[in-house]
Each structure stands twice: as C-alpha cells, then as structure tokens.
Amino acid sequence: MSSPSSPTDLNIDHVASLARLALTPEEKAHFASQLGDVLAAIEKLKQVDVTGVEPTAHAFPLFNVWEADEARPGLPVQEALRNAPAQRDHMIVVPKVVE
C-alpha cells in the first residue's frame, strides 16, 4: 500500500498484549501503521463481488495421501524420552503455558 494508515479504533497496546510483545513507542507506531495497511487491504477485498463463486479452501483439489490409521506398537518409553530435556514418572516435563 502506498499510504500508511493507522485506524483510530486500532488499539496496538491490546494487540501487543495479546501477542505478549513489549513494544517501544517507535515500534508501536511502525507496527500500527503496518497493521493498518493490512486491515485496509482486507477492507478492499470485502468490496469484491463473489456472487456465484463457490467457496473453496484450495485452488485445486487435494486428496488424502496419509497411511491408513491402524493401531501399531508405539515407541518404548526410554526411546520416547531419550531427548527430553526434563522428565518425571515416564513423562516429558514442559513449562506451564496456561495462566
């Protein structure tokens, strides 16, 4: 887009908080402008008449190329935990991600 835009209803602090980003004032101005441009492009796309156009997820058909879902023996516990940075009671220990 040629002209930067920053919609007045765009709350860059809220967006940064959702993304868990700490932004400087300069970064806030820069990213608000970029995000404004993206939102403006989306608004422009909303103007396209798609009457009679069948919704699709892909431009061409996709076919499932996976193997059949059949039960097979899994990895032995020692093999599964071999590269785990931390483990307890035959499980991989990971940092808590839910607040």
Domain of residue 9, residue span: 1-52
**CA-based nearest residue to 76, from 87, 90, 89:** 90
Q: Does residue 81 belong to any structural domain of this protein?
A: no
Identify the residue with better confidence: 37 or 67.
37
69/31 Cα distance (integer angstroms):
44
Q: Does residue 29 belong to any structural domain of this protein?
A: yes
pLDDT at position 7? 55
85/45 Cα distance (integer angstroms):
46
Rounded mean pLDDT, 72-94: 93
Question: Residue 9 corresponds to which tokens in the numbers above?
Answer: 């209803």
Rounded mean pLDDT, 22-44: 92
Reported in sequence order, the residue ranges of the chain that DSSP labels E, i.e. its strands, are 87-88, 91-92
Q: Does residue 90 belong to any structural domain of this protein?
A: no
Determine the residue type at 36: G
Q: Does residue 72 belong to any structural domain of this protein?
A: no
Q: Does residue 83 belong to any structural domain of this protein?
A: no
**CA-based nearest residue to 35, from 51, 59, 12:** 12
Number of domains in the chain: 1
Give the CATH number of the domain where residue 43 resides.
1.10.20
**DSSP bridge partners of 87:** 92
- The overall average pLDDT reported for the chain is 86
Q: Does residue 39 belong to any structural domain of this protein?
A: yes
Q: Which helix (H) or strand (E) holds 30?
A: helix 25-45
Q: Which pLDDT band, with edges at 50, 70 and 90, does 8 fall under?
A: low
Q: Does residue 17 belong to any structural domain of this protein?
A: yes
